[in-house]
Amino acid sequence: MSSEHDDPVKTICPYCGVGCGIMVQPGEEPGDMRFMPWGDAPVNEGRICIKGGAATEVVDHEDRLTDPLIKEDGEFREASWEEAYSLIVDELSRIREVYDPDAMGFYGSSKTMNEENYLLQKLARRYGTNNVDNCTRMCHASTVWALRTSLGAGAMTNSMADLRDEADVFWIQGANPGEQHPIANSQYFRQAVLDGATVIQVDPHANKTTRSFKIDETDRHMHLQLNPGTDIPLLNVVLKTVLENDWIDEDFIAERTEGFEHLVETLEDFDKEAAAEECGVPLADIERAAEAYARADNAAIFTGMGMSQHTCGVDNVQNEINLALITGNVGRPGTGVNPLRGQNNVQGTCDVGAMPNVLPGYQLVDDDEARQSVEEVWGFEIPDEPGLTNVEISHASGDTVHGLYIMGENPIMSEPDANVVAERMQELEFIAVQDIFMTETAEYADVVLPATTWAERGGTVTNTDRRVQRMRGVQKVHENTKHDLEILCEIGNRLFDDGSEHFTFEDPEAVFEELRQVCPSYHGMTYDALGEEGIHWPCYEPGDEGDSYLYEDSFDTESGLGQIEGVTHQPPKEVPDEEYPLILTTARLEEHYNTGTMSRRSPTLNRQYPENFVDVHPADAERYGIEDGEYVTIRSRRGEITVKAQVTEDIKEGVIWTTPHFAAASANVLTNDVLDERAKIPEYKAAAAEIEVGVEPADSEAPADD
């Protein structure tokens, strides 16, 4: 069988949010694809990390779903697409009639494209509910909230290129680009450091970022290794130090901000010495870092899940915004507050409205004018009350929520307190999943639809610095699979059989044409204009080249001013006690990705870390009688896992660190599902735990076990 394309196809890596361009060479048979470098790709210029180089390994994996499946008497059987579609439409119709539209929840996915997430959220709203969300809720919802409220847009203020070329100081807090965004780290951060920039990393765990910037013999780079959950007091030490030394930008504060007096009042009686002690970082080190940031010509803040995944996540990010605003480090190249997105389309999935409180372009669903402008294009009414977030949907399962439609997500592994999530899944009357593999979540479904992979279809994705880029399909591997867009259109047309054409689209470009009508920041884009370079949003009119950095003249807030707001320390909801004396925190590995659905099936990626592990400080290892490489059991109030111990000084004494990637021993069995009150993001980064020497699991996790 010959391939559809003879030449390599230019597309975008399906893993992290950097948005690296790669080429895929089709072979003689479907699925016979191999990676090739795209030498002049706009983001990465041909460089690629281990995940990008291995991306094609899962496209034709033996575990691929190839036919629709329907569960009968607790077992799956192969079904026709007609059977599967009919069952989904019948069940969605029944649930709406028996209960109401809010009895369904819809999950989008940052592993799928803008067009597909746009259609999913449109489907939910045509169904009559705003109960639609995506995995951003689990990683960056608090960042989106704080940035949108205080500056105007829930995204990076700057581009990676202008940060590399102009920044003198990189303040990296709660992020690990050396591990989670390797090309950003090597091509942008490292190049800036070679040109003289200083890196200040704030993180409880020493990691590849910490080590990658010890590249000269000067003492300018710093690692502030704080205790988990103490980011606010550390930043308050920084802010008070800046105020005490008058390292503020008075003109910028007066002309471009409001709320400065509240910050000053909040810090008036703040005890820096006590706060530094609580953080576990010497006061002199924090003060030296404050001076480096505040006195730089251009200083940029990078933030990650270490800041956002707390019950005080919004306030954590607000304090970073405070620091940028009082020093005037916003609105020009080399500055700003810049969240590093963890998945290939986290930014775009939010941009297109796959969230319960916003429509495409972050227009609030309870804003009458915004909602009506979208209704004019769509031709139907949109519910005017925000819906439930994905964790709230999980909490309501079996109570007010009776069904789920899940596209490309794996909430049984990605949500905290995973054992309880699985129990709630069993309380639902109907679950439909469309995915490429039989995930842990799909096992609970009533219908499973086989979708195509990233390499088989086209569309757009939006990377971490707001660059919208085209992905291009190579060839379809399995005949009976379908593209996500095709599936959603078919379900939409069958479910709303009213003569309308709300879900009639020939291809992804046709969907994008409607998307840009209702999403102001995408309005000026077309597929032709995107070309191979892509365009940074906002791009309001055709011909615009987009903005590489935001807020040059004003902020997109109601007053046009940046919002400063003093915040105070809020400890994690769980703190160590006699029963659970350790702090558990979590993070990702370079070689793996999210819940491991793809990466654990890649021989290359699974080779170094085929199973989960936990980092333990030598003093704690001695206290608990743990040897390096020995199996241990970690317990929290929610469950337990057994993993290998890695004894290392990378973690602070009293803290243990593990990952969420492995189904056989996921950190999310242990994590706490308490939420930030505003952003509704769970507190993954701090939970009380205990550890003891364990027993080796009977079955270790094989690469293909999912």
On whether residue 470 sits in a domain, the answer given is no
On whether residue 308 sits in a domain, the answer given is yes
Residues 15 and 128 in one domain: no
Where on the phi/psi map is residue 649: left (φ > 0), alpha (ψ -120 to 50), or beta?
alpha
- Which segments in the chain show pLDDT lower than 70? 1-5, 215-218, 697-706
CATH for 108: 3.40.50.740
Residues 154 and 105 in one domain: no
On whether residue 546 sits in a domain, the answer given is no
Q: Which residue type, as a one-letter code, is found at position 99? A: Y
Q: Are 13 and 20 in contact (CB under 8 A)?
A: yes
pLDDT tens string 49-69: 999 999 999 999 999 999 999
Q: Compute how many other C-beta atoms are within 10 angstroms of the C-beta atom of residue 218.
A: 8
Contact partners, residue 7, CB within 8 Å, separation at least 6:
none
Closest of 209, 203, 159, 167 to residue 186, by C-alpha = 209
Backbone phi, psi, residue 689, to 5°: -150, 165
Residues 313 and 356 in one domain: no
Q: What is the extent of the structural domain holding 287?
A: 141-339
Distance, in Å, from the CA atom of 422 to the CA atom of 445, rounded to the nearest integer, reads 11
Closest of 86, 64, 61 to residue 446, by C-alpha = 86
CATH for 50: 2.20.25
Give the residue from 296, 317, 339 where a domain finishes. Answer: 339
- Residue 674 burial class via C-beta count within 10 angstroms: exposed 0-12, middle 13-18, buried 19 and up: middle
pLDDT on residue 698? 56
On whether residue 387 sits in a domain, the answer given is yes
Residues 314 and 238 in one domain: yes
Residues 603 and 633 in one domain: yes
Closest of 356, 324, 294 to residue 151, by C-alpha = 324
CATH for 668: 2.40.40.20
Distance, in Å, from the CA atom of 335 to the CA atom of 548, rounded to the nearest integer, reads 12
CATH for 308: 3.40.228.10
Assess whether the previous peptide bond of 8 is cis (omega < 30° from 0).
Answer: no
Residues 46 and 79 in one domain: no
pLDDT tens string 173-221: 999 999 999 999 999 999 999 999 999 999 999 998 988 887 455 678 9
Backbone phi, psi, residue 687, to 5°: -145, 150
Residues 146 and 227 in one domain: yes
Nearest-10 Cα torsion for 596, 598, 601, 605:
-80
On whether residue 82 sits in a domain, the answer given is yes
Residues 148 and 263 in one domain: yes
On whether residue 20 sits in a domain, the answer given is yes
Give the residue from 307, 339, 371 where a domain finishes. Answer: 339
Distance, in Å, from the CA atom of 444 to the CA atom of 423, rounded to the nearest integer, reads 10
Residues 191 and 334 in one domain: yes
Give the residue from 282, 313, 339 where a domain finishes. Answer: 339
> Which two tokens mark 110?
């940052």
Distance, in Å, from the CA atom of 41 to the CA atom of 598, rounded to the nearest integer, reads 24
pLDDT on residue 218? 61
- Residue 623 burial class via C-beta count within 10 angstroms: exposed 0-12, middle 13-18, buried 19 and up: middle
Which pairing describes strands 299-303 and 169-173: parallel, antiparallel, or unpaired? parallel
Contacts 24+ apart (CB under 8 A), 8-11: 8/36, 9/472, 9/473, 9/474, 10/38, 10/41, 10/472, 10/532, 11/454, 11/455, 11/470, 11/471, 11/472, 11/473, 11/474
pLDDT on residue 699? 54
The 3-state secondary structure of 262-287, one letter per residue: HHHHHHCCCCHHHHHHHHCCCHHHHH
On whether residue 117 sits in a domain, the answer given is yes
Number of domains in the chain: 4
Residues 215 and 284 in one domain: yes
Q: What is the pTM of this model?
A: 0.95
> Which two tokens mark 496?
């709303």
On whether residue 563 sits in a domain, the answer given is no
Residues 380 and 486 in one domain: yes
Residues 400 and 298 in one domain: no
Q: Is 673 helix (H, G, I), strand (E, B) or coil?
A: strand
pLDDT on residue 3? 41
Distance, in Å, from the CA atom of 417 to the CA atom of 627, rounded to the nearest integer, reads 28
